[in-house]
Amino acid sequence: MSKMSKVYGEAKDSYTAKLRTKSMILTAWFIILTVICLLPLYMLIINATRNTSQISNGISILPGSDLGNNLSTVFKGEMKLYYDAVSGYKNSLIITVCSTILTVFFSAMTAYGIQVYDFKLKEVSYTVVLLVMMVPMQVTSAGFVSFMNKLGLLNSYIPLIVPAVAAPAVVYFMRSYMKSSFPLEIVEAARIDGCTELRTFVSIAIPMMKPAIAVQAIFAFIASWNNFYTPSMILVDGKTSKKTLPMMVQALQSSDTLNDYGAVYMAIALSIIPIVIAYVCLSRFIIAGVALGGVKE
């Protein structure tokens, strides 16, 4: 008996030891990856607080003392000609907030229409939604630009906001959510109580779909905020006051015009920081949302 337990004990010990070494090696590897993930951002923040000569002399782990100088260069200096942070934030915010609201509201509405009502084209319309999901923006862009040009909508925000109404991937997500957690009996009950169809949707369905709406709103917001392709295709007159934030970052690209490296780093940091802060606050929802997107297959 005692021999047996000894053998088992040894096997168990070696198994635990093996697991422990594996865990340790993996933890070290994860820490290395974390450093790789954060290093570029860390360098960005550090260099945003240093001046040009410090930056060209070498790298540093500690922040410098020129944070205020760099900030005032970005907000007051001649950099405003290419990079106007205030109007960049304003423009990006207008476009992003409007298109996010349109995306979640109309996607919920479309999903609701397909899920709740029985009509002839129900399945056909849903198939169309699924097919559309796969057509990339870059394919339609040439036709999009020439069509907008004909309508005289270039340089306006309409082509950047209104298309957000048709977001097939969001409709798909909302419908799968409704399938699992929206009982149709509630609609019937509302009808019996004399509620109109639109009101049923607005005051019963939308509150019940809040979790799905929140997740999709976060993703729509990030996607629209980060969008560089569509705005630079539509806003072509080169007016800085109209540009979105990512478009202004483009102006920082050629370093010949901008020799103040500290200010350039500062400007890049200003374009990144709001979204990073939002991410840190909402990271749990975001990661859960990505995981949900993965299981939809």
Partner 1 sequence: MASAAQRRIKSISYAKYGYIFILPFFLVYFFFQLWPLINTFIVSFQGNAGSSDFVGMDNYNAILFGGSRATNAIHNRFTSSLANTFILWIGNFIPQIALSLSLAVWFTEANLKIPGKEFFKIVMYLPNIITAASVAVLFLQLCGQSETNPGALNMLLSKIGIVHRDAVSGKYDSIPFIQGVWQSRGVVMFIQTWMWFGNTMIMLMSGIQGINPSLFEAASIDGATAGQVFRKITLPLLTPIMSYTLVTSMIGGLQMFDIPFLYNKDGKPGESVQTIAVMIFEYFHSVGKEQKMGYAGAASVLLFFITLALGILSLYISRDKDEIAKKKQRKKVEKQLKQESKQFGGFSI
User: Least distance (Å) from partner 1 to the CB of residue 1?
Assistant: 23
> Which one of 5-13, 28-36, 62-70, 208-216 is the stretch in contact with partner 1 (CB under 8 A)?
28-36
> Which one of 62-70, 72-80, 176-184, 275-283 is the stretch in contact with partner 1 (CB under 8 A)?
275-283
**Sequence letter at residue 114:** I
| Total residues in contact with partner 1, by rule CB under 8 A | 99
CA-CA distances (angstroms) from residue 277 to 37, 189, 273? Answer: 16, 43, 6
Q: Which two tokens stand for residue 241?
A: 């006051």
User: Least distance (Å) from partner 1 to the CB of residue 173?
Assistant: 14
- What value, to the nearest 5°, has the Cα angle with vertex 210 and ends 280 and 272? 25
**Sequence letter at residue 90:** K
Contacts of 228 (CB under 8 A, 6+ apart): 244, 246, 247, 250
Nearest by Cα to 232 from 220, 243, 221, 241 = 243
**Sequence letter at residue 93:** L
**Sequence letter at residue 165:** V
Interface pick for partner 1 out of 11, 32, 81, 142 (rule CB under 8 A): 142
> Which one of 2-10, 67-75, 93-101, 219-227 is the stretch in contact with partner 1 (CB under 8 A)?
219-227
User: Least distance (Å) from partner 1 to the CB of residue 268?
Assistant: 5
Alpha-carbon distance of 100 to 218, in angstroms, equals: 8
Under the binding rule (CB under 8 A), the answer on residue 194 touching partner 1 is no
Under the binding rule (CB under 8 A), the answer on residue 262 touching partner 1 is no
Under the binding rule (CB under 8 A), the answer on residue 36 touching partner 1 is yes
Under the binding rule (CB under 8 A), the answer on residue 117 touching partner 1 is yes
Under the binding rule (CB under 8 A), the answer on residue 277 touching partner 1 is no
Residues 220-259 touching partner 1, rule: CB under 8 A, are 222, 225-226, 228-229, 232-233, 236, 245-247, 249-250, 252-256
Q: How many residues does the chain have?
A: 297
| Identity of the residue, 112 or 177, whose beta carbon is nearer to partner 1 in the bound complex | 112
Under the binding rule (CB under 8 A), the answer on residue 137 touching partner 1 is yes
Nearest by Cα to 246 from 232, 263, 264 = 232
Per-residue x/- marks for partner 1, 51-90, CB under 8 A?
----xx-xx-------------------------------
Burial class of residue 153, CB neighbours in 10 A (0-12, 13-18, 19+): middle
Contacts of 188 (CB under 8 A, 6+ apart): none
Q: Which two tokens stand for residue 126?
A: 């849903």
Under the binding rule (CB under 8 A), the answer on residue 199 touching partner 1 is no
